[in-house]
Structure 1
Amino acid sequence: MSTLTDLLADHTSLSGADAGHLQRVVAEWQLMADLSFADLLMYVPTESGDLICVAQCRPNTAPTVFPFDQVGRVVVEDDDRSPDANPQVRRAFTSGRILREEDPTWLGHTAIRREAVPVRFAGEVVAAISRTANLAQLRMPSHLELAYQDCANDLCQMMSDGAYPQNEANSRGLSTPRAGDGFIRVDDEGVVVFASPNALSAVHRMGWTTDLTGNHLTDVLGELLTDRFEADDTVAMIREAVAGGSGRRIEADARRASVLIRTVPLRPRGQPSGAAVLVRDVTEVKRRDRALISKDATIREIHHRVKNNLQSVSALLRLQARRTENPEARGALTEAVRRVAAIALVHELLSGSVDEEVDLDVVVDQLVPVMADVASGDSNAVVRRGGTLGVLPSDLAMPMVMVLTELIQNAVEHGFGTDEHRDGEVVIEADRNTRRLVVTVRDNGVGLPPGFDIRASERLGLQIVHTLVRIELGGTLDLAPADGGGTAAVLTVPLR
């Protein structure tokens, strides 16, 4: 089955920002499915005007309506009346509102109720979610079910408003508690109005002995948590969520247990409506995770030591270059210094990463001073970055950094080496979507010599670039005269 990224790249022209928002929705919508007791299907318009299902989520709290995967299914315009298609979905794109069917309908022998929720991002509806509930076991809902559904309706309205999911800060990489782990609903004053049985069990293991309903959750957790700093952070986190701020998550220790707490602010139509607080007992999980944390720390320590060794090599090469009288040898050693420094910088960033990914914008911003320091000649060119290159996995980031280093240095050294072209600028521009990353290194220097061909060039740097682009990145590189003079190197790298 194709992934969300694959389907968006194959069938839509959504921007990278739109695709990133849909990724966040899919990362968070299990909570909405569980609280809704409903299946969720995400639809986006294709380039031909049809709709395609790009993601599916089944609830853990109710029987699924769709036993077979719907991902990849295309709904053409005249197919909206098929039994398993939601006719409200297409109208949700134009109306921008949540549309609910007044009467239940049938899917085969199963009674269902459907609604369509528009997914708004940056003021535009970029997708729609079909929320389908199974009514086969229709009965009087319990107090827990009513509390779940009330919270789910608020989250759907926030998604329609463009306020959910939030881009939560999670620097520690904490996991996400599920609704079934423990669900607490607090009102706009922070008072508990509902606590699920699992939430009560978790709080009781922490040391609380009475019911939660009617108590201020900040008072309860502030009393139970043993570390004063963790207690203050937790209280501040809940107050921020109740006030309509951003949601956060924290892991804290009580007298008898360790808990993972996450807050989800509820602001349907922009009006504060309290918050949902998810609680998970992670006492046993923490014990098992210590071994994994130790391994992760070992990997990062290896990256750190590799970085230190490469920096030592770079320093030795720089020292040798300063003592070498042969200009050609000095230039070769200086280029080696630059290349080793680029690789060392990537390992430095990996030593502080928990997911083996590299932020290319950080790398480029730190590489520019290094390249200026080792650049030869009398060039006064200024290098600046325009646009966002984004994050890449380490296996792509390493060759990408090497290629960018060579292209930027080549533009600085060979574009501004004459008396007529000493001053100017080199601009790194980026255009990224779900399918590919296009990086353009543009300068306003002397330009390319007549008949230039990168494949026939004898320069070592360009040979390295050509090899890395073709073999490691699987992309293309074009060098051509830039508009208004100078040279433009256009690097296109597929991201799939």
Structure 2
Amino acid sequence: MLKTEINTVATLCQLHTDLSDEEIRKIQEVVQNLQLIADLNQANVFIDCQTREKKHAIVVAEAAPSTAKSVYKNPVVGKFAYETFEPAVFYAFRTGKPLFLNHAFTQEGKKVEQSVVPIIGVHNRVIGTLIMEKDNSDKLQNQNKLKALTEANETLSELLLGMAENRPFIPEVIEESLFIIDQDLRIQYSNPAAMNLVLEMCSMECKSGNFFTTFFPNLEEICLRSDELVIQEVTIQNKVFQMKKIALVQNEQNSGSFIIFRDLTELREKERELTVKTVAIREIHHRVKNNLQTVASLLRLQMRRGIPEESKVHFVESLNRILSIASVYEIILSNSQNQDDVEIVSLIEKIGNMLVFSDDHEGKTITIDYSGPKLYIKSNLAVSVALVINELIQNCVKHAFTERNEGQIHVVIEEEASAIMVLVKDNGIGYTSTMKPSLGLDIVKMMIEHDLSGHFRIEGTSEGTVATVEFPFTREV
């Protein structure tokens, strides 16, 4: 505690109280440990002393915890405390007895848990009070929630047990099988769906008073569990059910259980079929990828064995197109979530790096970079996008940097409203409308308009060429 704070205690006591110098020193001794007390208890701590008239008290020292959030926004040293708002404090002054865990309000109107201990001076006189205040709003909120849940549980138990007395409140046409059993596992109520379920299990008719375990002997362990709620998937005669067991409580005593069976057989069968189909689709993707790589290998083999020089460029272009399509299936197969989706930036990066870094480009230094958010598109769209990007980047590599020693390609992916926009930029010689049309650009236009239902434009700028591809896209939620 700082020396200035010790002096403040003496000044306030001398101005407003009738404490002697010895009693003030006693208060100062307590003040020296005030911060330690606050940190240890994670609470705000104060010392109040009564005024000369004994009608009020004044706060002569305070400490906010450094180990927890303070319940006060502003300092209160020097402020008066009134009995109307601080009854526990004045009780301690009058009786010399402590009060613990008392509910109170701070001077800022916040609910707190308050404890008050009297500070005893000479001749057993109460010379001050040590006050500790903790924020208990969360504790009260949790208590209220617990009370509400307990009341709700009691009400539910009464309603459900009322069903066993021929006063049902749940419609009899509900699809789930409902049972109410008592603590001895005797059936007190079963709806028509539950009766039908029992008839499927055996030829016996389900009646009140039957033991639940007579029909479902393998579920006895679940029924005897003391948990308030048990949710478990169970198999009964080759059928799959979700079983919910809700404990019923009356007067804080277990009075039985409410059991719900939901038939999941059809759902699990569909999930199994979906898993089989997913495995089959991945196998197809794997075979398509292998077949494409086989075709690419055959083209490479033919090129190594010798082809006319004028045909070499056409072989390379065809090879790149095949490898671009194969890239789609490689990304699908690398997806650990077994989804038929392709992340577009990864696909474009894979194709771009293959085209730019797989050849020396007649000694030219060409670099490429990519930017854009993670967007996933279906594999059928991804094949068309792969071919389009292949043609655009290949066009940059072949035509943009003639008579230059280096070049830069930048691919930007953007999402705008319900569309994806891909921009392929280069800092080359620049495109003009008088240039001879190429097969590659014809492929791009055809695929964008027919396969992607999008738009394509290419234009020259002062810095080179910008090719823009835009096609509709709906992000899945």
Q: TM-score, normalised to structure 1's length?
A: 0.43
Decide which structure has greater strand share: 2
